[in-house]
Amino acid sequence: MWKLPDNLVELFGTTRELPTGRWQSGPQIYQGVVTGSIRLVEAMTGPGSRMAIEKAKRALLVGSGLPPNRFADLMIRAMDRGRQLAHSMGLAMDSADVATPSLSEQNVQNPFPSKAAEPTHNEENPRISKTPSAPLYEEPVPAPIQTRPLETLQAFQDSLREAKDLNGLLGTFVQSLHQNAGFDRVGLALLNPNDSDLLVGWLVLGAIPLAPNLRALSGSLSHEPQFFLKALKRLDPLLVTDFTTQAAGAMKQEFVDTWKPVSGILAPLRVGTRPIGLIYCDRGTRNQPVLLQESQIVQLVFMSTTLG
């Protein structure tokens, strides 16, 4: 139904042994990542024990050869995207949500403790965290592009060079705004190639459920309120410091109701002089306005993508 590659469908349909130790060849890495991820999800969503979950994670860690902190970061992001996809499909994720704390603060610091270091009283053990029991990531942290600008931009440009087509380029752009530029929510809407009046929500990161957020970015440019159309005609990103100052009816009501924008940036996307769509990014619904400095960051990433 999803037109996945045949070799990927094959891995889902057959029982295969997970390669042991560090994966070496390309096919072995591919099989290890797919099969290991399937086993981890089965352990998290099924009646499996905590030990089964840790065993599945350790197999992925050892096989991939990634540093534990990097692996934990990738795992958290993968689970977040998995939940977005599941919610957009209307699937229940209760079991996985219960299992997610195994990727919390304790596991970011040491995601795969040795057997001797395992707590004997689960979450009640005081050794779980050296910090107060506040939710992870509650405190805002500087975006990577602010703390390591040269390194972050270099990695971003390397990713752009690896893009095979326009979709890959735009996907890299959206992910960089979400992961490296510090924006909580990023949405991409593109003009329909067969109908330049129709804007279609294409990709959303950091906002769930996915389907309503994509739909809120879609619509007819000539029949809907003109806010998106005016932004599309601009040459540079538009910084909106306070959406409540917009005149009534200036924006599509579904966008206002779904995204509940406080402050954000709209950037037009062009190929040459031809507009192809819009990028929207903000800092979620927190009472923190998007700053001029962040608008300049968008412009910097935007220019790098345009050159790419």
- Residues comprising the chain, all counted: 308
pLDDT at 85 exceeding the cut of 90: no
pLDDT in tens, 147-178: 777 777 778 778 878 878 888 888 888 888 88
Alpha-carbon distance of 253 to 261, in angstroms, equals: 11
Q: Are strands 195-205 and 264-271 parallel, antiparallel or unpaired?
A: unpaired
Residue 297's nearest CA partner among 239, 243, 233 is 239
pLDDT at 94 exceeding the cut of 60: no
pLDDT at 135 exceeding the cut of 90: no
pTM beyond 0.85, yes or no: no
Rounded to 5°, the CA angle 36-57-207 comes to 85
pLDDT at 181: 82
Hey, where are the domains in the chain? Answer: 6-128, 145-307
pLDDT at 220 exceeding the cut of 60: yes
278-296 exposure pattern, b = at least 16 Cβ within 10 A, e = fewer: bbbbbbbeeeebbeeebbe
pLDDT at 88: 55
pLDDT at 133 exceeding the cut of 60: no
Name residue 186's beta-bridge partners: 205, 281
pLDDT at 160: 78
- Topology classification of domain 145-307: Beta-Lactamase (3.30.450)
Query: Which of residues 137 and 61 earns the better pLDDT score?
Result: 61
